């Protein structure tokens, strides 16, 4: 934690304001970008993601805060300068000593470079909010990508894309009046040409960096599908060469980052859900012999970071930076074949009861996000170990003692799984029937119509972090997990028939015209959203 001698930035002389590529180079030309995610890219998670990067690569990781609501953030409470919303979302200085740096954006603990993202529909509210964070970050980003219903209701995010004049004024107001640069994150439109005009408007308004999510607004949750990297390449080829461009979409594991850079020509690659499943996604895989206790290597040559190791790192960060104390003394992580003591595995694990009515999570985003992060990180793990899932569900937000107990449960089960794996020469994790089923799906449907190919590529044992892979829209339709209503079925049948005559390709409500991005009719999308049985991902819509 910062010491009382650490002076807050507003008391230091302002730096020169850079723009565009000059600004990008001034922050180290980062090519790894941790996405802004609603309530999910908070300080502790950013620090966890940074912790896996080698020291020489850490400046190459740029992180965004969660998306904040500009109007709520900018308004001062009667007892100025305090604001409950702001104080509970952005904790840049100690509450009792505003002259001392604390968590968000603190360069003394390594939370830079950092961009703060806002959603907004009023230029003055956006400017007022941006001015409050400017001393503690490197740039302010405007969210133009959120596709969720709450963004439609509040008129922000991707639901501003029909009002290009308002978008221009929002960005230009910051460009002209803010002491640090402004950036923006957009989604693609229905054609490459319209997307290019959109990007040109954003850049003309003064954005120093443009992030492009290669999906349309309708592509969310179960209709997410595959992001179109060709759109981003089209922008790269048609925007001024010095434009700084970040690509977002389709990043399941580390190897996808280089593939995306090569395909799109982008300067950097942003990851959201891939990072939530694996906070080490930006770090290159350790060399053999490195991190032997944290990084597991299988007999098939595949490896992955152990969930108990990641869980432990996360808890240690919360103890050290957020709680302001030392983490508990922990035993070494169990590694088979090292002759390590296993008697601890017989000990009973007791999760402490909930404390009083007020939790530490109140007013602290780092505690409040812990449970959601663990459910995402342990998604594959808890599908096998339901007792851990139930314990997570019962845990009270912010009570680290309870999560320490859950960590011990995870630690024990990982050790048991590793022992079984070694004792069976790896056969405990083999499932030839399932692998054959997935291969047949790829053969029958093609790699672009089924998620089976991605599952085969990314699958690891349950004790390793790994991506959560959604079924593609055609798969979901085939399974009956999402179904349109009668009127939409009739219309889709008519469209499909017309497509056969007109040479257009349509797949049950998802159509591709002239090689452009998938289009989902709004009526179909709304109906599917109501009837789907798949979990949504509203928390990562920033």
Give catalytic residues, as residue numbers. 146
Closest CA to 348 of 408, 274, 437, 402: 408
**Which tokens sit at 288?**
């053999």
**Which tokens sit at 248?**
């977002």
Q: Which residues contact 175 (CB under 8 A, 6 or more apart)?
A: 181, 182, 205, 206, 207
Distance CA 524, CA 521 (A): 5
**Which tokens sit at 433?**
């029937």
Are 120 and 126 in contact by the 8 Å Cβ rule? The answer is: yes
Are 418 and 463 in contact by the 8 Å Cβ rule? The answer is: yes
Distance CA 95, CA 101 (A): 10
Distance CA 279, CA 274 (A): 8
**Which tokens sit at 515?**
């090689």
Q: Which residues contact 70 (CB under 8 A, 6 or more apart)?
A: 118, 119, 120, 122, 125, 126, 128, 129, 130
Distance CA 470, CA 536 (A): 10
By DSSP bridging, strand 182-187 and strand 209-213 are parallel
Would you state the torsion angle of the CA atoms of residues 270, 129, 318, 288, taken in this order, to the nearest 10 degrees?
Answer: 20
Report helix, strand or coil for 6.
coil
Distance CA 323, CA 304 (A): 29
- The H or E element containing residue 373 is helix 370-377
Q: What number of other Cβ atoms are within 10 A of residue 264's Cβ?
A: 24
Instruction: Return the bridge partners of 34, or none.
Output: 63, 271
**Which tokens sit at 20?**
């565009």
Distinct helix (H) and strand (E) counts, the chain: 22, 15
Q: How far is CA 401 from CA 20, 111, 398, in A?
A: 46, 26, 9
Q: What number of other Cβ atoms are within 10 A of residue 242's Cβ?
A: 9
Helices (H), 93-191: 123-133, 149-154, 164-177
Are 465 and 304 in contact by the 8 Å Cβ rule? The answer is: yes
């Amino acid at each position: 934690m910062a010491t009382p001698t650490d002076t807050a930035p507003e008391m230091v002389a302002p730096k020169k304001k850079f723009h565009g590529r000059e600004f990008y180079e001034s922050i180290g030309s980062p090519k790894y970008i941790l996405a802004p995610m609603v309530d999910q890219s908070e300080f502790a998670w950013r620090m966890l993601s940074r912790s896996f990067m080698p020291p020489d690569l850490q400046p190459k990781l740029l992180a965004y805060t969660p998306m904040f609501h500009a109007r709520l953030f900018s308004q001062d409470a009667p007892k100025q300068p305090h604001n409950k919303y702001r104080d509970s979302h952005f904790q840049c200085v100690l509450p009792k000593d505003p002259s001392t740096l604390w968590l968000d954006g603190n360069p003394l603990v390594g939370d830079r470079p950092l961009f703060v993202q806002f959603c907004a529909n009023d230029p003055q509210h956006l400017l007022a909010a941006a001015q409050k964070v400017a001393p503690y970050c490197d740039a302010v980003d405007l969210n133009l990508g959120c596709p969720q219903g709450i963004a439609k209701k509040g008129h922000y995010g991707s639901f501003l894309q029909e009002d290009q004049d308002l978008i221009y004024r929002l960005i230009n107001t910051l460009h002209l009046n803010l002491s640090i640069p402004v950036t923006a994150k957009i989604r693609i439109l229905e054609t490459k040409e319209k997307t290019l005009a959109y990007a040109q408007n954003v850049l003309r308004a003064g954005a120093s960096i443009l992030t492009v999510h290669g999906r349309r607004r309708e592509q969310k949750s179960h209709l997410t599908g595959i992001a179109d990297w060709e759109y981003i390449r089209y922008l790269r080829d048609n925007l001024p060469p010095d434009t700084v461009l970040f690509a977002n979409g389709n990043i399941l594991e580390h190897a996808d980052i280089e593939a995306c850079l090569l395909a799109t020509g982008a300067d950097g690659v942003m990851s959201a859900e891939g990072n939530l499943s694996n906070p080490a996604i930006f770090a290159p895989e350790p060399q053999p012999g490195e991190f032997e206790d944290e990084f597991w290597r299988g007999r098939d040559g595949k490896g992955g970071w152990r969930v108990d190791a990641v869980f432990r790192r996360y808890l240690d960060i919360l103890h050290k930076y957020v709680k302001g104390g030392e983490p508990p003394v922990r035993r070494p992580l169990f590694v088979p074949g090292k002759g390590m003591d296993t008697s601890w595995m017989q000990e009973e694990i007791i999760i402490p009861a909930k404390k009083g009515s007020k939790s530490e999570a109140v007013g602290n985003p780092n505690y409040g996000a812990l449970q959601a992060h663990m459910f995402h990180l342990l998604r594959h793990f808890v599908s096998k170990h339901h007792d851990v899932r139930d314990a997570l569900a019962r845990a009270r937000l912010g009570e680290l003692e309870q999560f320490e107990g859950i960590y011990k449960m995870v630690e024990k089960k990982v050790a048991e799984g590793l022992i079984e794996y070694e004792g069976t020469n790896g056969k405990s994790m083999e499932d030839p029937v399932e692998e054959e089923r997935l291969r047949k799906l790829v053969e029958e449907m093609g790699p672009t119509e089924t998620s089976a190919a991605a599952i085969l590529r990314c699958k690891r044992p349950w004790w390793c972090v790994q991506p959560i892979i959604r079924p593609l829209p055609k798969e979901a339709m085939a399974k009956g997990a999402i179904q349109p209503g009668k009127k939409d079925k009739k219309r889709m049948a008519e469209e499909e028939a017309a497509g056969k005559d007109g040479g257009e390709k349509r797949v049950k409500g998802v159509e591709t015209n002239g090689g452009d991005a998938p289009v989902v009719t709004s009526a179909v999308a709304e109906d599917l959203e109501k009837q789907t049985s798949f979990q949504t991902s509203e928390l990562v819509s920033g």
